[in-house]
Amino acid sequence: MLGNFDETVSVKDFLHHADTGIGTCAGLDGDAVFEDGVAYKATADGKVVVMKPEDGVAFGTVAKFDESVPAVELRGIADIEAMKKALAPYVEGNQNIFYMIKATGEFKTMHVRSCFASQKPYPTLSEVAKDQREFHFANTYGTVIAVWCPRYVNGINLPGWHFHYLSGDKTQGGHILGLSADSLRVKINKIERFD
């Protein structure tokens, strides 16, 4: 948040421990989505590229996703706040752990953003956000990967939900600012330990 966008871990090291999650790339060069053991970068010019093992990640939250959990259906998601409200019952039982979701389906609308790469001396995240690029997609099929963080990690992560999107054809993605969908198939993992 204060402007340290240096690499903290390589894609190879992240994927050694996990296969699913979200993050941002070294230099704040786009938004990262980790899906099924592959790292994707959604760039500010509207492209999605596969990251190389030696590419760097400045920040991320990743886990080994348990696909065996039963899926639930969320219906009538009018906007991002409705999505958070629909997910609330699944985190209310224990707000001291992390949760990760994969929500798959057709999105009537999807509003994402990505940032351009920054050079040292880095600006703060709020300064970078003034020049972010936003994209609007309609009737796009794909997956939302999101992380819910407990309040006590404030300062090392963002409490509450943080959503990223990756289309099924791997051509659209980014940090989600807004969305809507009639029906989504959601798998929810409880993450009770973290490093």
pTM of this structure:
0.96
Asked if 176 and 143 touch (Cβ cutoff 8 Å), the reply is no
Mean pLDDT, the chain, rounded, equals 96
Q: Which tokens in the block code for residue 148?
A: 């819910």
The pLDDT of residue 157 is 92
Mean pLDDT of 7-33: 96
Residue 32 scores a pLDDT above 80: yes
Residue 185 scores a pLDDT above 80: yes
Residue 1 scores a pLDDT above 80: no
Q: Which tokens in the block code for residue 171?
A: 């051509």
Q: Which of 40, 23, 33, 42 is nearest to 116 (CA)?
A: 42
* DSSP helix/strand/coil, 59: strand
Residue 66 scores a pLDDT above 90: yes
Q: Which of 6, 12, 49 is nearest to 25 (CA)?
A: 6
Residue 130 scores a pLDDT above 90: no
Residue 183 scores a pLDDT above 80: yes
CA dihedral defined by 175, 71, 157, 10, rounded to 10 degrees?
-70
What confidence tier does 104 reach under pLDDT thresholds 50, 70, 90? very high
- CA pair distance 28, 42, nearest whole angstrom: 11
Residue 2 scores a pLDDT above 90: no
